[in-house]
Amino acid sequence: MKRSVLLLASLVFGCLAPLQATSVRRLSFDDLISSANSIVEGSVVSSNTYRSSDGKLIFTSYTINVQESLKGSTPQLVTVTTVGGRVGNTILHVAGMPVFQPGDRAILFLEQSKSYTTIVGLNQGKFAISNGEVSNSISGLSFPDGAAGKSVKMPLDEFKKQIKLRITR
């Protein structure tokens, strides 16, 4: 009963004021690697936004062309699904959820969530590639301990080397 009231209150108040951050468990680099079923370097080829079968949610599926598989075995094309997007005049925004544009390059830490492949830890598991460096954005995320998150920025080759070192341990 108490849980139902809290859920109802959060839904009602969530509709009145937009949420600024999504609270998630803070993941270390090692946590990201161990939680991921696969880790890929790839680029976004296309996207498709649609409503869930019950019409309550909006999903966006991104087709990723895999250039290199760093962990696990993945096909050349992987579909990564996130919650959120725009269908007609309806927009669903989930703070901290990764968003991609066609042509974006990234290292992605992927996991299975029911029948979908998604990003581990929301924005924590997406590392954009630009000018030979990787970086992640933790904007839109808050952590239970209240401490601010730390973004990562490092050379792409070093980042991939660190992943491979940890996988072989």
Arithmetic mean of pLDDT over the chain: 86
- pLDDT value for 48: 96
Say if residue 2's pLDDT is above 70: no
Q: What is the pLDDT of residues 64-110, one digit of tens each?
A: 999 999 999 899 999 999 999 999 999 999 999 999 999 999 999 99
Phi and psi at residue 89, to the nearest 5°:
-95, 5
Domain edges within the chain: 22-167
What is the full DSSP assignment across 104-146? Answer: -EEEEEEEEETTEEEETTGGGGEEEEETTEEE---TTEE-TT-
Residue in 33, 123, 130 with CA at minimum distance from that of residue 84:
123
Indicate the pTM of the whole model: 0.84
Q: How far is CA 152 from CA 50, 122, 167, in A?
A: 32, 15, 19
- The helix/strand/coil state of 85 is strand
Task: Report, in angstroms and rounded to the nearest whole number, the Rg of the chain calculated over CA atoms.
Answer: 17
- pLDDT value for 24: 82
Could you give the CA distance from residue 40 to residue 117 in angstroms, rounded to a whole number?
12
Domain range 22-167, its CATH number among 2.40.50, 1.10.287, 1.20.1070, 1.10.10: 2.40.50
For residue 108, the one-letter residue type is: L
Q: Give the residue, 73 or 40, on which the prediction is more confident.
A: 40
Say if residue 10's pLDDT is above 70: no
Say if residue 26's pLDDT is above 90: no
Could you give the CA distance from residue 122 to residue 81 in angstroms, rounded to a whole number?
11
- pLDDT value for 141: 85
Say if residue 134's pLDDT is above 60: yes
Compute the average pLDDT of residues 138-150: 82
